[in-house]
Structure 1
């Protein structure tokens, strides 16, 4: 009996060894095949990528490769995998300047509250470039490179080849109310005080209200007030033109329209988001109840409005997060979400643009290989560099440049470029991985080798 048990054990061991030895060549061959594939990809990166200078002190010839890629485009959307990186700001400022000086782009639309941007722009003639920057766009983009860009805008205020800026975001800010209140004070003191109170109330509702019944009560109070303000602005166009340009007045009206639209259609989604932020359970059953979706849809509509109504003859640059500017967020294989009750990826701004604008747009995704940036709460964080063989960052970094550009759309597919149409990993805020097909989401990619936190300047008021 003992002899039979030993024989059985020996047989099991022999079978195990046999299976193990059979598996090893297959695993080794698979690893070798993947290694060879990565080698071919890196060969393609070396052959097809472009070296871009980070510093603004260089001539702009290193960016000449952009001309044939963007020559027929009206909208260029430039992203970033995380807000608040100094090098992201530096290289984007260079690209913006190139697109303006060499290709005639004249409008920069930031992922910034439109009310904040129009308030700063309207007062830019009497302020410094630094003041306009710090009061006109979020602090994630406050940097010496961006300040130089705003200096360029200021120097071209009265020129035919002007460069201007605006915002596309619907979120309320602390600048628009005081700006508009002061602007109408000489026309109607009572109206001036009411505007300030309305904006303070709207700000609290949008950012802090987490009780749905109370939110609807407040929205029902505010909506007719904003409707009446809209009518008042229309009745006083001639008086307002004595203080503001037509462009500023139209943007003021657009901000008021955005407020009204939110009060009619966006309150429930926003309150659920606030409740989630405040760690209260919240349930969303469809896309229409998602605050992220509502915000991106309205930003896309603001871009359409800017392109067709305010600047119909101008070419525009849109600055925002990769999440907002990518072309087909609903096709993401894996994704980061701040609405855990949503199981599928939402359509975001780039995907929600009108078909006409999509056809004339170019989306540039911007990533970093290593370094430090800010998280969503404003704290310093080190990037997660635990990459695998399907990560975009080490692949693009293999070019050996401080800043590497790679064209995706239109690049011929072969074994050295097959990664462009395969599921690949890319970082979100440098800390979480998302999986997507690169060419499905972006027309081009830009990789900065190492990033550091941007200098955050505080607004003067």
Structure 2
């Protein structure tokens, strides 16, 4: 028995060593030079990431690339890439002012972002502070930091113009942390106003004050048995059907879709192991359904920016168990959709330490060797015989070294040499 264990350990060590040798072995110098030459040939330098930059000549490349575009998906390698948040903010401002993109849809709850947008539409008469209004609809990493506050000030500014930006979402999850204590009262008020008795749905009525807790498997398994879980989901569906019988106003429609999302969110949480491919696959399929509905019905014939993570922008199957959101969008809208992913060589951490460098095989090393702090590469306009159109290693997916034909997964890469964690203001 001990001998078998020892042999297994040795096999694991050998496998790790071989993997590291492949991943971290040096690329031949001649290959590096050839790669660098091609990258220099096809990259477009970006001068600044600041939304306050008034010289937009470096962004005019997008006027041609997005000429006939309808849906632009803006990714991010992780949700904690502060420089990427700044870059996306500047792009949104430019595209709104120069190309008529008036809709920004986030990887956030449909209902939560609707509430947030309605609050922003009050033209600065809202009871919510301008620097906190994002918390009604979005996860904190997209509104509570110094990098995204200028974008929210810009959103609010456009609300007073003849061309306001409308904010929405397409996720099934609860996302607005500042809405957490208000969801129950808002739903109850809506149902009472429309003479829908919540008492007819006893299990949902009983736990309506604890909706967030029921997403925690440890809590829900102590609270509801299998039969009660089924009943709980059926009651949410019953409420949805009751709302669907009402007049199809904007408010009634969003509440019906909200109840559908709530049900699906519980199903995902209870049916799939968190963070697994099947869980992500289920969520992305529903985000795709919601996003396509938003594009085709709510914002028909308008140009739309989609804000999400890189992995959701990928336009083809990523694994046998995961078909990303972007694949649905690319199949539906084809050349009228553009997927833009973001990547970096490393990031500044505490005391200006540079961390999270890629393995030696990753293309981010070649990007870094250009000495350009920011640039953009459009895969669509690169010849098929270029190494950039073939398989290469990149950290484009959450910083992991992975070898794929990345030009099949994304239409372009926005490169930021050194990223930084977002800056959060000190609590008073």
TM-score higher than 0.5 here? Answer: yes
Q: Report if the CA contact (8 A) 1:139-1:457 is conserved.
A: no
1:182-235 CA deviation, whole Å, 9 max, x = no partner? 555666696599887554454333333575994643332223432343344345
Name the counterpart of 1:12.
none
**1:229-248 alignment runs, 5 A limit:** 229-234=239-244, 237=247, 246=250, 248=251
Q: Report if the CA contact (8 A) 2:82-2:423 is conserved.
A: yes
1:332-373 CA deviation, whole Å, 9 max, x = no partner? xxxxxxxxxxxx451111113372224421011101111157
**1:205-354 alignment runs, 5 A limit:** 205-208=214-217, 211=221, 214=224, 216-234=226-244, 237=247, 246=250, 248-261=251-264, 266-267=267-268, 270-274=270-274, 290-330=278-318, 344=320, 346-353=322-329
Gaps of 5+ in 1: 1-30, 278-283, 332-343, 375-380
**1:34-113 alignment runs, 5 A limit:** 34-52=28-46, 53-58=48-53, 59-113=55-109
Q: Which deviates the most, 222-231 or 440-449?
A: 222-231
1:107 to partner: Cα distance: 1.2
Higher Cα radius of gyration:
1
Q: Report if the CA contact (8 A) 1:363-1:444 is conserved.
A: yes
C-alpha change, 1:216 and 1:291, in structure 2 (3 Å) is farther
2:155 to 144, 153, 176: 153
Normalising by structure 1, report the TM-score.
Answer: 0.74
Normalising by structure 2, report the TM-score.
Answer: 0.79
Q: Report if the CA contact (8 A) 1:425-1:435 is conserved.
A: yes
C-alpha change, 1:213 and 1:181, in structure 2 (3 Å) is closer
RMSD: 3.5
C-alpha change, 1:309 and 1:154, in structure 2 (3 Å) is same
Count of residue pairs the alignment pairs up:
387
1:261 to partner: Cα distance: 4.6
Q: Report if the CA contact (8 A) 2:51-2:151 is conserved.
A: no
1:45 to partner: Cα distance: 1.7
State yes or no: 1:132 paired with 2:133.
Answer: yes
Name the counterpart of 2:420.
452
1:257 to partner: Cα distance: 2.3
1:157 to partner: Cα distance: 2.8
State yes or no: 1:357 paired with 2:330.
Answer: no
- State the SS of the aligned residue for 1:369: strand
